[in-house]
Amino acid sequence: MFVAMLLAVVTILRPLDIAIWSVQSKMFNRAPSGEIVLVTDQSQQLGKSRLRTNLNVLNAVKQLDDQGARLIVIDSPLQRSASLQIDRELRSVLEQNKDRIVLTRTVRKDIDENELVEAGSPFFEQGMRIASSDIQPDFLGFVWGIEANYSNSEAAYPSVWNTIASDGRAHSAIYPDYSIDTSQLLHLDLATLGGGESSALESLRGKSIIIGDLDRDRRSLKAPDESDGDVFPTLVQVIAAETWLRGAGQFVGSWLTIPAFGLLLVLGLSLSHKDRTRRIFYLAWLSAFGIIVVLGAMAGMRIMLAEPLFLAFLYAILRATFNFRRRHLYVDPRSRLLNFAALRRDLASSTDIDRTAIVVAKIARLDAILANLNPYEQGQYLRQIAARLTLGDAKLVVYHDGGKYFSFLLSDTEYPDLQAHLEGLRAVASQAVTVGQRAIDVSMTIGVDHSNNKLPSSRISSAIAAADQARETYRPVFIITDFEADSEAWDYSLQARLEDALSENRIWIKLQPQIDLQTGLIVGAEALARWVDQQHGEISPARFILQCERAGRLDELTKRILRLSLEASRSLQDDGLPPRISVNVSAIQFVDHRIADMVEAMLAETGADPAQIIIEITETARIEDFRVAREIMERIARSGIRFSIDDFGIASANLDALYRLPFSELKIDRMFAGATASDPMARAIVGNMLNLSRDLGLANVAEGIEDIATLDMLRDLGGDLGQGFCIARPQTFPLLQETMRLQRDSSIQRSG
């Protein structure tokens, strides 16, 4: 059935190919080679006798023999006449020149046109070279291809064009190039040639002569380059021979054009993500058809374009249908963004849903804001928020439920630290939006569902619930995982579990090396808290630190991490290794002098060098009283400890905190540092941050370096220190110590 449908489509589309080929035939006007001479009986006498025809052929062959013609092809069956003498003489001349005279006959009995051609007489054909004069026109009477050889049950015979152009050596079909100007062919009259009256006789030496059109009852054919459209078969053979002589006449079937245009379409669509870029590609893709038509005409090739054009038409219909459905079924009319029905559809068809986080952003006071905007401004406001949420990622699709919720999907393979990424995204997206020359505030909370084995609709509802639970100040991002979904009661026993974990040393640190970007040497490390629970395994710091804060246990946790970090620094210093260690401390702990008391006690207890300790203050936006915070920091700084402002660039109070507090180091957030190699805007921002740190006399640290290109770029920009997975992942203290020892030993060997 499929084969039958395919044949039906090909048959229906053939007139389109014929129309294209006809247009191509009129694009150029090429002169013939001059190697082929056409001889026909140009007299208009009706009812000419076979005797007269044979006599004319006899005289013409003699003249051609005398003039040294290379090859003589008589493309018309010779019949016995009323004169035995003439026939014998003609036979004798043919036999004497049989090495360079070729007679023709029709070979294939299944070609209807061959029934109109009377068979030649064996009297003349016996012992002679025979060529096939078979021509099979299409249903419109055009001849677009002639085989190189035709065969029957007895033998195979080269076609007339094959005999003329290559002495029968060609093995593939030829597709006549009708742009060859047949009016420039050397065309002689048979009777005039036989009488020796032609002035062109001297130019026939070494030429191939084809004698045809002796039987006017034979069916005429159509050719697109002729004004009246009618030609005789011999002329078509001449055109085919001329085509072969100029190296043209190849055929490119749909088996090649369909994959070629299909691959071009797929490649273009994969690279075109914006509507404007895609429209430009469609125009270029359709223009390629016109270019191929011109190039095919220039090369004299027959190229099947109807099938790819038909498939392009089908694609256009499918695309239009898809766009219609997308506009009316899956698009929110106010924002013109895909709605949550489209989100459920895309989740249901996703092949990697278990590794995909569903993110929902809830816009606060949206109803009140939209009530003061006209419909056009409402759509503009919503689309600007959606654009902010993509953060310049053209591939990211943002969905809108028609109300206060936006959603998008993130892969955990691309964002290993999802919490940090979303907090930075929220800070950027919460900047004021300008609509109609008015600046309108944007306030949002973000909820995330990162659980598995749930229906898409359940996961969307879970993400919406998470966004509802998130708090503007203390909980801007709320992530629901399988762990949280399975045991909400675990939070209620956190205090007891935390005390057990502290007493049993299950809260410990990993150290992520920091290098000097200019030398590539490890100069220190950042201490990162880790908790391995007996029931749930390793717990995310973002989760248990927040719960410690809620339960009032943040001081105990900070004390534990600080002690381990100072002990690690002291051990490194005793071993003659770089002892610089950075420790994260929450900004909310700088509300009284308890944190200063803790730091001084830990320094005295561990004996660590305070000059090698950096306290990274996180979440500076949560500092409520800068005067108190500065007083506490100055007290700690008198011991020799320095301070670093963490995640610089993403929190709204960064510049305020940098101006008002005694920082000695600026830590560039991974959202900017990690994109310096790929994003010119991020590169410009990081460059300005580095210049700012140098102007203020601060050291700088870039985090989130995930590849060599980013590392090289930050080095070229003049960065001081860097850390990230490209350099080293967080590791245990013994492993860090061993790594530093190897670095030291290697340096000693090089200097020795």
What pLDDT does residue 503 have? 67
Among the residue ranges 75-79, 211-215, 523-527, the one predicted with the least confidence is 211-215
- pLDDT over 50 at 486, yes or no: no
Please say whether the beta carbons of 149 and 159 come within 8 A: yes
Phi-psi region of 499 (alpha: psi -120 to 50; beta: other; left: phi over 0): alpha
Give the pLDDT band (50/70/90) at residue 686. very high
Please state, for a pLDDT cut of 70, what percent of the chain lies above it.
88
Summarised one tens digit per residue, pLDDT across range 375-425 is 888 899 999 998 888 876 778 899 998 888 999 988 877 777 788 888 888
Burial of 667 (0-12, 13-18, 19+ CB in 10 A): buried
Strand 699-702 to 665-668 pairing: parallel
Please say whether the beta carbons of 608 and 573 come within 8 A: yes
Among the residue ranges 41-55, 326-340, 354-368, 724-738, the one predicted with the least confidence is 41-55
Please say whether the beta carbons of 247 and 75 come within 8 A: no
Give the pLDDT band (50/70/90) at residue 526. very high
What pLDDT does residue 606 have? 93
Summarised one tens digit per residue, pLDDT across range 566-578 is 999 999 999 999 9
Distance CA 120, CA 413 (A): 80
Please state, for a pLDDT cut of 90, what percent of the chain lies above it.
26
Helices 494-503 & 541-551, crossing angle to 10 degrees? Answer: 110
pTM (2 d.p.): 0.48
Question: In 3D, which of 62, 30, 37 has the Cα closest to residue 200?
Answer: 37
Summarised one tens digit per residue, pLDDT across range 533-551 is 776 667 767 667 766 665 5
Q: Which residue has the higher pLDDT, 52 or 690?
A: 690
Summarised one tens digit per residue, pLDDT across range 73-106 is 998 888 888 888 998 998 998 899 888 899 988 8
Distance CA 515, CA 174 (A): 70
- pLDDT over 80 at 484, yes or no: no
Summarised one tens digit per residue, pLDDT across range 635-655 is 999 999 999 998 887 754 478
**Mean pLDDT across 496-519:** 81
Q: Which two tokens stand for residue 745?
A: 């030993």
What pLDDT does residue 73 have? 92
**Mean pLDDT across 110-114:** 70
**Mean pLDDT across 336-351:** 83
In a 3-state reduction of DSSP, which class is residue 77? coil
What pLDDT does residue 665 have? 94
What pLDDT does residue 487 have? 44
What pLDDT does residue 496 have? 64
**Mean pLDDT across 508-513:** 91
Q: Which residue has the tokens 């249901």?
A: 348
Q: Residue 126 CA to chain centroid, in angstroms?
A: 65
Summarised one tens digit per residue, pLDDT across range 229-248 is 577 888 889 999 999 999 89
- pLDDT over 90 at 365, yes or no: no
Strand 580-586 to 405-411 pairing: unpaired
- pLDDT over 60 at 175, yes or no: yes
What pLDDT does residue 474 have? 46
Count other C-beta atoms under 10 Å from residue 184's C-beta. Answer: 12
Summarised one tens digit per residue, pLDDT across range 234-291 is 888 999 999 999 989 888 888 888 888 888 888 888 887 777 888 888 888 888 888 9
Helices 594-606 & 554-574, crossing angle to 10 degrees? Answer: 30
**Mean pLDDT across 113-141:** 82
Q: Which residue has the higher pLDDT, 678 or 419?
A: 678
- pLDDT over 70 at 109, yes or no: yes
Q: Which two tokens stand for residue 12?
A: 């229906």
Q: Which residue has the higher pLDDT, 669 or 326?
A: 669
Kindly compute the dihedral angle of the four CA atoms of residues 174, 176, 181, 184, in this order, to the nearest 10 degrees: 40
Question: In 3D, which of 663, 586, 590, 584 has the Cα closest to residue 631?
Answer: 590
What pLDDT does residue 214 have? 63
Which H, E and C letters describe 159-195, residue by residue?
EHHHHHHHCCCCCCCECCCCCECHHHCEEEEHHHHHC
Distance CA 579, CA 351 (A): 47
Average pLDDT, rounded, for the chain: 83
What pLDDT does residue 588 have? 82
